[in-house]
Amino acid sequence: DQQVKQNSPSLSVQEGRISILNCDYTNSMFDYFLWYKKYPAEGPTFLISISSIKDKNEDGRFTVFLNKSAKHLSLHIVPSQPGDSAVYFCAASASGNSGYALNFGKGTSLLVTP
Amino acid sequence: GAGVSQSPSNKVTEKGKDVELRCDPISGHTALYWYRQSLGQGLEFLIYFQGNSAPDKSGLPSDRFSAERTGGSVSTLTIQRTQQEDSAVYLCASRLGVDTQYFGPGTRLTVL
């Protein structure tokens, strides 16, 4: 049962434009959300996170927005760069559940074209 | 090294054989997790270790899977009598406190 869903398997964006990656979740107990970036043959790399007590967190070119009522979060990358091309995974965890074990979406493959 | 390391990076085995996958977490990280990513899927939680407490095995798919963590550091994931559906990338992550999980590069397991 997929509790975290990324409905867009792929996304193509021009360099300099905004990339918006979306994620939906079904478990209302989730209280911590993360985005990971993954290159081929490498492990996921932490990108940015947000606690359920916030609705926005910003780190440089990356901003994560959380809409708890809609059980939706999104990652904005502005401006997009070719080096951002990778698979992006949305993940969520619940306090006290298997030590904050992460529930992952299936990922969105982002391609940033020059 | 500064990050999580895993070995081997690739493992090809025959159906029915046992395999052992190793994870060296970041020094000082008390929490360790195993996940796997099957083709076209997201990462799936397998097992969680916290300090010297009994592990949380709730994600293990069958009793052919087991893991141990010696001395609160290195962990080994063992799959007995491997099946073709066990083919996946097995990822280890470690965490300090309530901070973010940091992942290793993974072991790609192929069961023929």
Asked whether the beta carbons of A14 and A71 are under 8 A apart, the reply is no
Which chain A residues have a beta carbon less than 8 Å from that of B41? 106
Contact criterion met (CB < 8 Å) for B42 and A4:
yes
Instruction: Pick B100's closest partner by Cβ from A41, A49, A89.
Output: A49
A34 and B33 within 8 Å at the Cβ level: the answer is no
Higher pLDDT, A89 or B41: A89
Out of A88-92, B34-38, B54-58, pick the least confident.
B54-58
Residue B112 in this model has a pLDDT that exceeds 90: yes
Q: Which residues of chain B are within 8 Å of residue A53 when distances are taken between CB atoms?
A: none
pLDDT band at A95 (very low <50, low <70, confident <90, very high): confident
* pLDDT at position B39: 86
Closest-approach residue (CA) in chain A for B31: A99
Would you state the pLDDT for residue A2? 86
- Please compute the mean of the pLDDT values over residues B6-28 and round it to a whole number: 96
Per-position DSSP letters for B41-94, written without gaps between them: --EEEEEEEETTSPPB-TT-SSTTEEEEEGGGS-EEEEESS--GGG-EEEEEEE
Residue B56 confidence (pLDDT) above 70: yes
Residue in B4, B6, B45 nearest the CB of A102: B45
The pLDDT of residue B72 is above 80: no
pLDDT value, residue A61: 97
Give how far A48 is from chain B: nearest CA, Å.
9
- Residue B59 has φ and ψ, to the nearest 5°, of -95, -5
- Give me the residue label for tokens 């990076």: B9
Q: Is the pLDDT confidence value at B19 over 70?
A: yes
pLDDT tens digits, A35-78: 999 998 899 999 999 999 999 999 999 999 999 999 999 999 99
Please give the residue of chain B at the shortest CA–CA distance from A105.
B42
Of B31, B42, B91, the CB nearest to A105: B42
| Pairing of β A108-113 and β A10-14 | parallel
More reliable by pLDDT, A47 or A96: A47
Percent of residues, chain A, with pLDDT higher than 70? 100
What whole-number distance in Å separates Cα of residue A45 and Cα of residue B22?
20
How much is the pLDDT for B1?
53
